[in-house]
Chain A
């Protein structure tokens, strides 16, 4: 154990050192091969120009390499693999796509993903907005925000254990140690196995993600609310608008852009939801979602790269509109010099 700590520590130092060494050495090499400190003026000026042309690529090199190997190439490879069989060796045309179109579990996953997409981003944004408005109006608002934001630091697996304990079921006659069943019993209801109730169990899993992500929505929306110009509110007050009208007709329209950012960010997260379903139900009781189905096919019976590639591509297709929108936004307000 101690040796592992030492080797981890060593890896950090070696990694950082190697990185630093690369940038330092490549810069030194450039200086030696194309000197700019001495020599005739024309030569220096020519060398300086070459420096300016080469340096950006030296700086960008490692980052580009990593992104190409780990992101760009795999996207293309996954696309190609979706036309091949389980081992990736034989071309099968559209067979994997046909499988997806006719597979019941795949349809179930799509249906569940749509349910998640319909509920989670809306719930997080709504609760986040309400809590942001409420906490902005009290003196201990920052403490409250901190507490609501805190689940964001908790892993999905940790959160799943936390909520599995809340949903715990101990037989119809046993003492209920799960909070939800204890409350139900207190009000005279019958305890239920919450995570095994088809359709509804999806919502019990969604609660976990809402619990985690509402804080994120709240933080972003709270900052946007503070940026609303005072005059617009004052004008509405003078015109006799009440608090409700001011909120819906003056404040919300002015933060539309931010609401869209929050909504899309959570949408992307929802499309990739994996850990929660894996740890809560592992896709049983009709809770399967795309990311879990894909993981399942990656390893099921030795793995089927063709079918899991198709599932990955479906997730990719769903995020593509958001991706294009992001790129548009980023190129509109591009900084830089």
Chain B
């Protein structure tokens, strides 16, 4: 009888140990740290951290920089998610047209940037949108537009980052939409045609509603990803410049935690990020259930 419990435990033990040590324990530990003034002195001896209750959270809500980071992150999400949805759906619809030969070639081509995620591509983008030597402003000059300093102008810096993220993720989300399009039964279109629907009406009243689960999945995934924006502003705008216009919540956590070693303060801000992501996840659960 004992063997019956032993075997499953042996199979599970590596996962159990790792998940307990590096996910479950730290979630609670992080909550505790957020209630202390854990700082560089406490790094040497954890005993130096004093319990200060909700003070970190109270300070955070009065910290103009943190509030700015929240606004910046929301601004990024609000711009990026609809762009990603509209463009990836359009791309998928175009690629799904029966007259498109070389579908795989196009699909793979559009997918390329998604593989090249990370610091590397941010450095490329930095160079691409550079004011004087960048190819983007050069192309704009063909049309008589004098391109701004994309990364140095407060008004444009976030747009440059939105551009990078949309460019990078477009092919991936279009592939998800393509997979969704394959699941729509042909009869739906035939029925719509009998009812006299034209090409646009078929997209509007058949395709888009039937793609709702995919749309929900993409909205949620890209929203959660958007709240975690970090590498791009870290690299492109040297940690959130100009004048903190691209500073995000995760950058704030990173700077407080690992530059100033204000771990308590950083842990509290990570819990506020958690709250935002939790709300998005709840939306998924709520609307996800309605689909079925």
* A and B from one complex: no
Chain B residues with CB under 8 Å of chain A are none
Chain A residues with CB under 8 Å of chain B are none
